[in-house]
């Protein structure tokens, strides 16, 4: 992980918590986290809170990493990233490494030319400025995190947790990512995007019976049943039109897209943690048939349910 002077502490602490702690009791081998100073002169690095990180690693060490993480950075680094860091990121990308930026670290990726024509995100407070400075980037101000080929970007502060857990989920499966989340006492997956945080709802729209949380919980308990938008709207005590609009405004997806995502997530967990036949998994997740599960699972995950089970059960067994 590349860290420059003035890095904010929270965004810096999350990778330490997720990747830096030894968790080989749930997945072996676990990650080896190395802190690399952004300056070619190496450490120490002083954070925004005044804490000092001592490290023997510098930008050149990033090239040999499997995943290169660019930590959130202070404004001077955003506007003028260290040339040695930019050069190292380019080399790592050319070598096929996974490149990840946390919050404002996206400025460094853009300076390295890695985001041209790609979708990316950052903290909603930086989105307009970043889009103005980098018109070559497709900025998504609503996403909590984005993935474009081998390049990942995250929104600010708490969204760093979402991205780091998603990387664990991609590497080790949902069951392992969920266990890490439990140990951190955070949700394994948050719904929606930054809009729900950037623009708080007015008091008139925050009535006690108007929140979506109850209907989301209700639907998660019934993923095996037929779920339609009218049925969800009735549970929410809203008209179909109002419910659909509010759902999309809050979560950034349609109700049916959300249901599909939740069913895929449940199928992943069942494939990883049980020996149930694919036909049973299909029924328990509301897909009805194995063929229907294979179709939607393959489109969402990129592999068949059987292949997914073989990969992640094997990793869990190790």
Does pLDDT of 152 surpass 90? yes
Please give the share of the chain, as a percent, with pLDDT higher than 70: 92
**Number of Cα atoms under 13 Å in the Cβ half of residue 288:** 7
Share of the chain above pLDDT 90, in %: 72
Q: Are 305 and 297 contacting, i.e. CB atoms less than 8 angstroms apart? A: yes
CA distance 172 to 314: 10
pLDDT band for position 248 (50/70/90)? Answer: confident
Same domain membership, residue 108 and residue 53: yes
Q: Which domain holds residue 293?
A: 201-318
Instruction: Supply the pLDDT for residue 199.
Output: 40
Q: Helix 255-273 to helix 174-184 angle, to the nearest 10 degrees?
A: 100
Residues 116 and 20 placed together within one structural domain of the fold:
yes
Q: Which of 151, 184, 217 marks a domain boundary?
A: 184
Residue 280 lies in a domain: yes
The pTM assigned to this predicted structure is 0.71
Asked if 230 and 293 sit in the same domain, the reply is yes
Q: Of the candidates 151, 159, 153, which has an alpha carbon nearest to the alpha carbon of residue 130?
A: 153
Averaged over 142-153, what is the pLDDT? 92
Looking at the predicted structure, is the pLDDT value of residue 204 above 70?
no
Q: How far apart are CA 249 and CA 178, in angstroms?
A: 27
Q: Do residues 311 and 261 share a domain?
A: yes
Is residue 211 helix, strand or coil? coil
Both 35 and 171 in one domain: the answer is yes
**Does residue 44 have a cis peptide bond before it, meaning omega lies within 30 degrees of 0?**
yes
Domain count, the chain: 2
Domain boundary among 124, 155, 184: 184
Distance, in Å, from the CA atom of 62 to the CA atom of 89, rounded to the nearest integer, reads 7
**143 and 62 together in one domain:** yes
Q: Are residues 136 and 229 in the same domain?
A: no
pLDDT in tens, 37-50: 998 877 799 999 99
How far is it, in rounded angstroms, from Cα 236 to Cα 211?
Answer: 8
Q: What's the whole-number mean pLDDT along residues 136-163?
A: 92
- What's the average model confidence in pLDDT over 295-303? 86
Q: Which of 127, 156, 184 is the last residue of a domain?
A: 184
Rg (CA), the chain: 21
Residue 113 belongs to some domain of the structure: yes
Q: Is residue 194 part of a domain?
A: no
pLDDT tier, 312 (very low <50, low <70, confident <90, very high otherwise): confident
Rounded average pLDDT over 247-272: 88
Q: What is the mean pLDDT of the chain?
A: 89
Residues 100-114, mean pLDDT to the nearest whole number: 97
Residue 190 is assigned to a structural domain of this protein: no
């Amino acid at each position: 992980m590349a860290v420059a002077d003035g890095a904010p502490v929270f965004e810096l602490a999350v990778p330490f918590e997720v990747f830096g702690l030894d968790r080989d009791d749930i997945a072996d081998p676990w990650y080896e986290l190395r802190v690399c100073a952004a300056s070619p002169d190496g450490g120490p690095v002083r954070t925004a809170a005044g804490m000092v990180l001592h490290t023997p690693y510098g930008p050149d060490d990033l090239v040999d990493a499997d995943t290169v993480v660019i930590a959130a950075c202070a404004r001077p680094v955003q506007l003028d990233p260290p040339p040695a860091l930019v050069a190292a990121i380019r080399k790592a990308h050319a070598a096929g490494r996974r490149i990840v930026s946390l919050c404002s670290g996206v400025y460094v990726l853009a300076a390295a030319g890695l985001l041209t024509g790609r979708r990316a995100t950052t903290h909603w407070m930086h989105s307009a400025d970043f889009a103005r400075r980098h018109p070559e980037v497709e900025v998504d101000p609503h996403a909590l995190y984005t993935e474009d080929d081998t390049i990942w970007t995250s929104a600010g502060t708490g969204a760093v947790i979402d991205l780091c857990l998603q990387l664990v989920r991609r590497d080790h499966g949902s069951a392992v990512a969920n266990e890490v989340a439990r140990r951190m006492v955070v949700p394994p997956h948050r719904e929606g995007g930054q809009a729900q945080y950037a623009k708080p709802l007015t008091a008139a729209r925050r009535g006690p019976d108007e929140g979506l949380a109850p209907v989301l919980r209700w639907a998660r308990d019934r993923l095996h049943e037929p779920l339609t938008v009218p049925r969800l709207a009735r549970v929410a005590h809203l008209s179909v039109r109002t419910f659909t609009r509010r759902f999309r405004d809050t979560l950034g997806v349609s109700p049916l897209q959300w249901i599909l995502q939740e069913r895929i997530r449940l199928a992943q967990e069942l494939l990883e943690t049980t020996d149930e036949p694919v036909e049973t998994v299909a029924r328990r997740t509301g897909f009805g048939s194995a063929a229907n599960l294979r179709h939607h699972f393959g489109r969402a995950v990129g592999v068949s349910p059987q292949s997914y089970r073989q990969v992640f059960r094997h990793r869990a067994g190790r």
